């Protein structure tokens, strides 16, 4: 069975690359994770991508997304278990399909950057019940969109940039990181740095969509505005995807 994993950017149909459109048009059946009403109009964004770029009425199968333990004693084990449960859910659907159909997954952002779809599909393949051949089409990541929106060069001259998560942010700062892209930070861990007076932030939510929100400046001065903007977007649309750059002031 052929499977295309296609990066579709942040949700706006104009962010789809020409290569991605070609891949989408090869697909017979799209599998999408059904996350329930908690994602609000995110499902409509996905539907608009298909309406804009795939002729006709493509078949879409909603696959219930397994619950994830958000407060595990062992984070790594909990994520692996969640991936396994997701893989089993997809395996069940794939086994009911004709092996000659082409299956597609719409992946927000880029499949290679802080996304689980590649690992989940590899897990299905490893089960050995479905003969899978898959490829990956890159998408525009939130990191690229954030840099473009704020007109940033992410790296400083001759210096590194660390891409991390909210969970690991304070550890990475303790290890000396001072130019950091932070993803998957629903708790806004950067608030713990307020009062130090040494950090600038470039923040963005729902990047590349009509609902994009941007805030930039000294962390101490901006954190309140960021909290309000994040809450407003979540209340209006049912979902918020935000990313930010933290840099020590030079």
Chain segment 2-56, per-residue pLDDT in tens: 999 999 998 889 999 999 999 999 999 999 987 765 555 677 888 899 999 999 9
Cα Dmax for the chain: 60
Domain at 204, CATH number: 3.30.950.10
Domain at 55, CATH number: 3.40.1010.10
pLDDT(70) > 70:
no
156 phi, psi to nearest 5 deg: -80, 160
Question: How far apart are alpha carbons 50 and 3 in whole angstroms?
Answer: 17
Count of structural domains, the chain? 2
DSSP helix/strand/coil, 10: coil
| Percentage of the residues of the chain whose pLDDT score is greater than 70 | 94
Q: Which residue has the tokens 């994830």?
A: 68
Question: How far apart are alpha carbons 82 and 77 in whole angstroms?
Answer: 9
Task: Please indicate, yes or no, whether residues 148 and 233 belong to a single structural domain of this protein.
Answer: yes
Mark which of 87, 111, 137 sits at the end of a domain. 137
Average pLDDT over residues 175-201: 95
pLDDT of residue 73: 61
Task: Please indicate, yes or no, whether residues 7 and 127 belong to a single structural domain of this protein.
Answer: yes
pTM to 2 decimal places? 0.89
Task: Please indicate, yes or no, whether residues 119 and 151 belong to a single structural domain of this protein.
Answer: no
Task: Please indicate, yes or no, whether residues 103 and 153 belong to a single structural domain of this protein.
Answer: no
Mark which of 137, 154, 183 sits at the end of a domain. 137
The closest alpha carbon to 90, from 114, 115, 117, belongs to 117
Task: Please indicate, yes or no, whether residues 57 and 171 belong to a single structural domain of this protein.
Answer: no
Show the domain range for 117.
2-137
DSSP helix/strand/coil, 85: helix
The closest alpha carbon to 43, from 54, 30, 29, belongs to 30
């Amino acid at each position: 069975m052929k499977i295309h994993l296609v990066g579709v950017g942040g949700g706006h149909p104009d962010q789809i690359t020409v290569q991605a459109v070609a891949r989408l048009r090869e697909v017979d059946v799209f599998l999408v994770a059904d996350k329930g009403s908690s994602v609000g109009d995110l499902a409509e964004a996905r539907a608009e991508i298909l309406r804009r770029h795939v002729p006709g009425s493509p078949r879409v199968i909603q696959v219930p997304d397994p619950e994830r333990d958000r407060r595990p004693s062992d984070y790594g084990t909990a994520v692996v278990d969640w991936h396994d449960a997701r893989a089993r859910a997809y395996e069940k659907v794939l086994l009911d399909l004709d092996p000659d159909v082409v299956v597609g997954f719409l992946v927000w952002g880029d499949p290679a950057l802080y996304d689980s779809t590649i690992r989940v599909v590899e897990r299905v393949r490893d089960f050995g019940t479905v003969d899978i051949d898959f490829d990956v089409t890159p998408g525009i990541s939130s990191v690229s969109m954030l840099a473009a929106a704020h007109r940033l060069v992410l790296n400083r001259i001759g210096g590194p940039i660390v891409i991390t998560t909210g969970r690991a942010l304070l550890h990475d700062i303790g290890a000396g990181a001072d130019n950091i892209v932070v993803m998957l930070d629903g708790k806004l861990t950067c608030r713990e740095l307020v009062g130090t007076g040494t950090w600038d932030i470039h923040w963005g939510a729902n990047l590349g969509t009509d609902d994009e929100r941007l805030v930039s400046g000294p962390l101490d001065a901006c954190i309140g505005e960021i909290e309000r903007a994040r809450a407003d977007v979540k209340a209006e649309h049912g979902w918020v995807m935000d990313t930010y750059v933290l840099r020590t002031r030079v």
